[in-house]
Amino acid sequence: MAQAGRHFVFDAFGTLFDVHSAARACADIIGPQWPRVSEVWRNKQLEYSWIYAGIGRHMSFREATRLGLIYALQVTGLDKNIAPGVVAAYARLAPFPEVPAVLRTLKERGDNLAILSNGDPDMLDELVGNAGLTDLFDAVLSVQAAGTFKPAPQVYALCERQFGVKAPQLTFMSSNRWDIAGARAFGMNPIWVNRSRVPDEYPEFPPVRVIDDLNALLSEAV
């Protein structure tokens, strides 16, 4: 049965949570190369998810995160043995500054909120809980239920089943342009949260709107 109110679905990593805050918090361990380590770490983490999905092999996102960090440390000439202390910080990623207040306002307005993420269920529960945001979400959806990673269509279908509505009734937010392309191809109404203000990569699959951060959800018609 469809739930009353609007249906907002958020990506987690890079959209609600700053993926670079883990390496930043461990700058004393990593050293001055932490920005480069963080960039390579994130890129390799995503690459692992796409490659394993493409060849039909399962890899947990936790493992993709761990292996991505090890690669990033090695390619920057750092000791891979510091990885356990750094990867632990991924459970405490910082929400972007506006996120808690915006989510709480949307919830108070009667909107339905969910996360749809590549993260493993326990990984997401820990992350959302540590940020104090658990009570704001009607659902925290992991791609594990679909057996593959974004941007596969069966991942976005999890949101239809959760809310009992079709894709055009779902508004999906992500800072990852490839994720927006996947949601658009599935039929959702995607809003690109272009925090880094980068050029568009996928004009064939345009977002319905581009915003700088989530504050725009409160000041604009959605």
Average pLDDT for residues 175-187, to the nearest whole number? 99
For residue 85, the surrounding DSSP H or E stretch is helix 83-87
Annotated catalytic residue 11: yes
pLDDT of residue 4: 64
Tell me what the mean pLDDT of segment 32-60 comes to: 97
Per-residue pLDDT at 1 exceeds 80: no
Q: Beta strands of 82-185 (E only): which ranges?
A: 112-117, 139-142, 170-174
SS3 letters for 102-118?
Answer: HHHHHHHCCCEEEEEEC
Q: Are 191 and 33 in contact (CB under 8 A)?
A: no
Q: Does position 179 have pLDDT exceeding 90, yes or no?
A: yes
d(CA 66, CA 61): 9
pLDDT band, residue 166 (cuts 50/70/90): very high
Active-site residue, from 11, 111, 120, 179: 11
What is the set of domains in the chain, with CATH numbers? 7-18+94-219 (3.40.50.1000), 21-92 (1.10.150.240)
The answer on pLDDT for 29 being more than 70 is yes
Name the average pLDDT for the chain: 96
pLDDT at 147: 95
Dist CA 13 CA 174 (whole Å): 9
Average pLDDT over residues 194-212: 97
